[in-house]
Amino acid sequence: TCPLLLRVFTKVGAHHTDEDFKERGKEPKDEVQIYTWLDATLRELTDLVKEVAPVARRRDAILSFAFVYPDKRGRFVVREVGRTFSYPNGRRPDNGSKALGELNFQIGDYLDVAILTQ
């Protein structure tokens, strides 16, 4: 299978809103582009985000993943699809084993990552 270009937008504290994606070409500035496959897991993506966002490396960080895509009217929707812990362990299960394709990611969608700390 061919890799895909995944446009990832990160934000500390919350997800971006659908309004942040309203106008094509004026997406949020905090973008990282990753070449990956539909079988990439949220754990693999967590590790990639940790490389570019120092706050995601905090021991208490939780990463919330959301797909951003246009609805039937062409307006963007931000839909949360899973959460991972920056440092998982057996006592705190998360969605890290879920793959993009398994979560119904469509090529062309964006990925929005909220980095939550306590």
Q: pLDDT tens digits, residue range 57-115? A: 999 999 999 999 999 988 999 999 999 999 988 788 899 999 999 999 999 999 999 99
Tokens 């969608």, residue located: 109
What tokens does 59 get? 């021991």
The Cα–Cα gap between 5 and 19 comes to 23
Give the domain ranges of the chain: 4-117
pLDDT digits (tens, 9 = 90+) for 27-59: 999 999 999 999 999 999 999 999 999 999 999
CATH number (1.10.760.10, 3.40.50.300, 1.20.120.350, 3.10.20.550) of 4-117 reads 3.10.20.550
The Cα–Cα gap between 47 and 102 comes to 19
User: Which residue in 85, 103, 102 sits closest to 94, CA to CA?
Assistant: 85
pLDDT of the residue at 1: 65
3-state secondary structure of 81: strand
Residue 67: which residues within 8 A CB-CB, separation 6 or more? 78, 79, 81, 103, 104, 105, 106, 109, 110, 111, 112
For residue 2, pLDDT beyond 80: no
Residue 51: which residues within 8 A CB-CB, separation 6 or more? none
Confidence of residue 25 (pLDDT cuts 50, 70, 90): confident
Residues in the chain: 118
Q: Are 69 and 61 in contact (CB under 8 A)?
A: no
Report the 10 Å Cβ neighbour count for 112: 27
